[in-house]
Amino acid sequence: MPKVTVQGTPIFYARRLGGGQNLVFVHGAGGSHQIWLHQVKALRQSNVYALDLPGHGQSGGEGRGSIGEYGDFVVAFLDVLGMDQAVIAGHSMGGAIALDLALRYPRRVAGLVLVCSGGRLRVAPSILEGIRDNFLSAVSLIGQFAYGPNAPPEAVRLGQEQLSQTAPEVVYHDFAACDGFDVLDRLGEIRCPTLVISATADRLTPLKYGTYLQEHIPGARLVVIEDAGHMVMLERPEQVSQAIGEFLGDWAGT
C-alpha cells in the first residue's frame, strides 16, 4: 500500500481503484485507515482511498490541534493525489473534518458520508482528563463506550489495541479538537449530496446527532443501523458498505 508526502510528512493510505467517483475515507480520533478496510474492498464502483492522518497508524508526523487544521491537511492530501474533487466519508472526528471541508472548501467536496458523527462533538471531561492522566485506563473507558452490546469481542479488543498504540498526546489533541468543534448553525449552508449513517446503540454520538444532521443539511438522507454502536463500520460492515454503495449508485444514476 502506498505512501505520499503531504505537508512534508509521509502519509500512508490504502486504496482500490474502480474507475468511478473518488471516495476518501477519514477515520476518527486516535484511529487509522484500518476501520475502513471492509469498505475499501467492497466499494468497487469507486476510486477508494483510506488514509492515516498525520501521527496516526502508519503515517509520520504529529497530529493536529483542531478540526480545521485536519481539514486543511485532507485538502493537501487531495492536491498531492491530483484529485480536484472527492466524496468525503468520515467517522466521528472524521465526520467533523468532512463537514469542515464542505463548509470551507465546497468545490472540493462532491458529497458527504457522515458515519456516527455530529455537527457538534462535545467530549466528557472524564475522557479528556483520563487521556492526560492515565492513558491506558482511558483507552479502556473509551472502548466500553465505543461498541454496542453485541459487538464481536475480538473487534473490541483490536480497537482498544489500536487506540493504545497511538501516542497519548495525539489522542488527547484529537478529542480536544472534537470538543471544540461546533457547526450546528452552519449545516444549512451545505449543498452537496449527503448520507448520514447512525447506530441505535451508539453512546458517543447518539442517534439524535444523526437525526439532527439529516434534518438540517438540505436533502440529506439518514440510514439507521440497529443494535450497533459507535464503531458501526466494524460491527456491521456489510450494512455500512451497502448503504454507502446505494448512496453512490443512486447519485450516479446506476
Average model confidence (pLDDT) across the chain: 94
CATH number, residue 235 = 3.40.50.1820
Structure pTM?
0.96
Under DSSP, the state recorded for 43 is: -
Domain residue limits at 229: 3-252
Distance CA(207)–CA(67), nearest Å, equals 22
Residue among 29, 27, 25, 70 nearest 204 (CA): 29
Distance CA(156)–CA(68), nearest Å, equals 30
Residue among 235, 229, 241 nearest 116 (CA): 229
pLDDT of 99-141, one tens digit each? 999 999 999 999 999 999 999 999 989 889 999 999 999 988 8
Distance CA(182)–CA(143), nearest Å, equals 24
pLDDT of 129-176, one tens digit each? 999 999 999 988 888 889 998 888 888 887 888 888 999 999 999 999
* Angle, CA 37 vertex, CA 98 and CA 58 arms, to 5°: 80
**Count of domains observed in the chain:** 1
Distance CA(209)–CA(149), nearest Å, equals 20
Of the two residues 253 and 218, the one the predictor is more confident about is: 218
